[in-house]
Amino acid sequence: MSTGQQQRTLSDAALRLAEERSRPTVLELRKVGCAYEKGRPAIADMSFSVREGEILCLLGPSGCGKTTTLRAIAGFEPVSAGAIYLAGRLVSSPDTLVPTEQRHVGMVFQEYALFPHLRVIENVAFGLQHLPADQRKAQVRTMLDMVGLTELERRYPHELSGGQQQRVALARALVQKPVVLLLDEPFSSLDPDMTGKMREDLRDLLMHTKTTAVLVTHDHEEAFAMADRIAVLNNGCLEQFDTPEAIYHTPATPFVADFVGQADFIPGLVENGTVMTEIGEFPNQVGYQEGTKVVVMIRPDDVHIEPSDHCTARILARQFRGSENLYTIGLPSGHVVHSSESSTSVYPVGTPVELQVIATHTVLFEQDHPRKPKG
């Protein structure tokens, strides 16, 4: 690519970003809390917003409050604190609960919930009873065509595969042109070998129909592949709300760092303005005070190894992953780091290696920061 082309591509990307950022907010949660019965809140102080046409992923481990957040947006759960706005309208607060049918949200849940006694075409047409028959037919046909179900329109749900049932559920939700589409773990009941293709198809469909969507998942790879922005939840609280790249490269907490990929935490000490560790010096980017005990977060893609007889770090294990080799390296202190090498770089266990850390940025946390989910 020539320099001119590169500059054009960069300015195109900047323009696209500016355009995306100027889009109106469709959904906003402000300090939302939700409690089942009178116990501990299932979610607390939850704030994020979704712009028109954006795909937001709610990501976190089982039980962290993803489904509860989605149910609060849909109006199935009242909120005990804060407020939810849909298309600028207050729909939930401790004193407000606009009913689900007035919120114009679309929903695709784990089990699809299709009507078993209705054919595909009738399932999709179900929410359009208010339209004249010819308009209804035209819209349903367009939608079936878009999701590739035209040939199956006379079938009943039990005559379809899991993937096809999911497309019916999607078509049924999308045909109503929802303000926002809510998807709860939409790939969890599909065969794992189908999910890659289904993710791509779903993303294309959402982009094509300019649908704003909130998608729940516990799988960071799915969130990375699907999302424009990700909200990472832990124990009912929002830990970080940002782009997939920022969530991966500059995690806001040790929990996020750990949850979205392999992360090692190497202890360090702030001395003479830099962070001294067993594997070298790092810049004190956050500006911690002299003497602060910190940990440096390292990803395997930041660490390169070279066999070297004079070194004290050693290969403890190698995991062949097809496109890469993931090495576990033992340091003299007993700490370990991981290194991602090309799939053809094969060294035996026990080899002494020199470490080269080539992180483009340093992620630091204080040593006593909780690393695992609380509770």
Binding site for Mg ion (CB under 5 A): 67
Nearest 10 degrees: Cα torsion 219, 222, 224, 229: -90
In the complex, the smallest distance separating the C-beta of residue 215 from ligand ADP, rounded to whole angstroms, is: 12
Nearer to ligand ADP, 194 or 237 (CB): 237
Residue 317: CB atoms within 10 A of its CB come to 12
Instruction: Decide whether 237 or 311 has the Cβ nearer to ligand ADP.
Output: 237
Amino acid at residue number 48: F
Decide if 286 contacts 358 (C-beta within 8 A): no
Binding flag, residue 62, ligand ADP (CB under 6 A): yes
- In the complex, what is the shortest distance from the CB of residue 67 to Mg ion, in angstroms, rounded to a whole number? 3
Pairing mode, strands 303-307 and 313-320 = unpaired
- Closest approach of ligand ADP to the CB of residue 260, in Å: 16
Question: For residues 32 and 93, is the Cβ–Cβ distance under 8 A?
Answer: no
Which of 26, 54, 68, 108 is close enough to bind ligand ADP by CB under 6 A?
68
Q: Helices then strands (H, E): number in the chain?
A: 9, 21
For the CB of residue 77, give the shortest distance to ligand ADP in the complex, in Å: 8
Structure tokens at 64: 């962290």
Tell me the three state secondary structure of residue 293: strand
Q: Which of 29, 66, 160, 328 binds ligand ADP (CB under 6 A)?
A: 66
Residue placing its CB nearer to ligand ADP in the complex, 73 or 363? 73
Indicate which of ligand ADP, Mg ion, none lies near residue 36 (CB less than 5 to 8 Å, by partner kind): ligand ADP
Burial class of residue 346 (count of CB atoms within 10 Å of its CB; 0-12, 13-18, 19+): exposed
- Which segment (22-30, 66-74, 101-109, 275-283) binds ligand ADP by CB under 6 A? 66-74
In the three-class reduction of DSSP (H, G, I as helix; E, B as strand; rest coil), residue 316 is classed as strand
Q: Which two tokens stand for residue 85?
A: 């706005």
| 63 lies in the site for ligand ADP, by CB under 6 A | yes
Q: Residue 68 or 325: which CB sits closer to Mg ion? A: 68
20 neighbors 54 (Cβ within 8 angstroms) = yes
CA atoms within 13 A on the CB side of 71: 14
Binding residues for ligand ADP, rule CB under 6 A, total 10
Q: How far is the CB of 225 from ligand ADP (least distance, A)?
A: 19
Q: Calculate the dihedral angle through the C-alpha atoms of 48, 28, 56, 190, rounding to the nearest 10 degrees.
A: 110
Candidates 61-69, 171-179, 255-263, 348-356 — which segment interacts with ligand ADP by CB under 6 A?
A: 61-69
**Mask for 24-53, x = binds ligand ADP (CB under 6 A):** ------------x-----x-----------
CB of 213 to ligand ADP, least distance (A): 17
Q: Which residues bind ligand ADP (CB under 6 A)?
A: 36, 42, 60, 62-68
